[in-house]
Structure 1
Amino acid sequence: MTQTTANTLQAARQLQQLRSGFEQLAQQQSSAAALGLEARAATELLQTLPPRYAEVLLSLLDRLESSALFTEESCSFSQKDLIDNLRLWADKARSQLEKS
């Protein structure tokens, strides 16, 4: 197995873990802060994807973590919409990894 293949496999595992984290957050089984830590620790994934993917993910996470500080009514970010956008990001990231 080449190093590139091993990196891609590890990135795919990290992406799957993030997807699981998105679902746990949606079901209120996890916190935005925990998801943010997990996503930022997915270094293999973020290094394997083009740089724009990390920028978008970190932006979504920042908004998600900010939304967690307020009630839904007082925050300009809908947590449900942000989770939907994270799922969309994950779909695109998976497609990008499959091209690798």
Structure 2
Amino acid sequence: MADERLTPLRQALAALDSGALGAQAFSAAARSQTALLDALPARYREVLLNLLDRLESSALFSEESCSFSQKDLLDSLRLWLDKAEAQLQRG
């Protein structure tokens, strides 16, 4: 069963992936999920913030000139969400 606390972030990621939401807006949405981040161990916040910083940096440059692949970052964010969900289910 999916943890509902992750729903807003999953929806925002889907919007980012489809181009309906920009990297800065996604990052702001993710950073605003304080209840979710407080429910997870501190290392999850650290990893997410690192991914968001990289995503924001990648948005400043074209794909070719940036050292961060946006596709890889989106895959990493999906993996983070899956791991966060597993952690929340463990309690």
Judge same fold: TM > 0.5, yes or no. yes
CA shift, 1:14, in A, is 3.5
Match 1:79 to one of 49, 67, 70: 70
Tell me the equivalent position of 1:53. 44
Q: Distance in 1 between matches of 2:73 and 2:83?
A: 15
- Please, what TM-score do these two structures have when normalized by structure 1? 0.86
Query: In the alignment, is residue 28 of structure 1 matched against residue 36 of structure 2?
Result: no
- Please, what TM-score do these two structures have when normalized by structure 2? 0.94
Moved more, 14-23 or 57-66: 14-23
- The code of the aligned residue for 1:37 comes to A
Structure 1 runs of 4+ aligned residues shifted over 3 Å read: none
CA shift, 1:85, in A, is 0.2
Query: When you count helix as a share of all residues, which structure comes out higher?
Result: 1
- The code of the aligned residue for 1:55 comes to E
- The code of the aligned residue for 2:26 comes to L
Tell me the equivalent position of 1:96. 87
Q: Distance in 1 between matches of 2:63 and 2:6?
A: 27
CA shift, 1:16, in A, is 1.1
Provide the aligned length of Structure 1 versus Structure 2. Answer: 89
**CA RMSD, 1 decimal:** 0.8
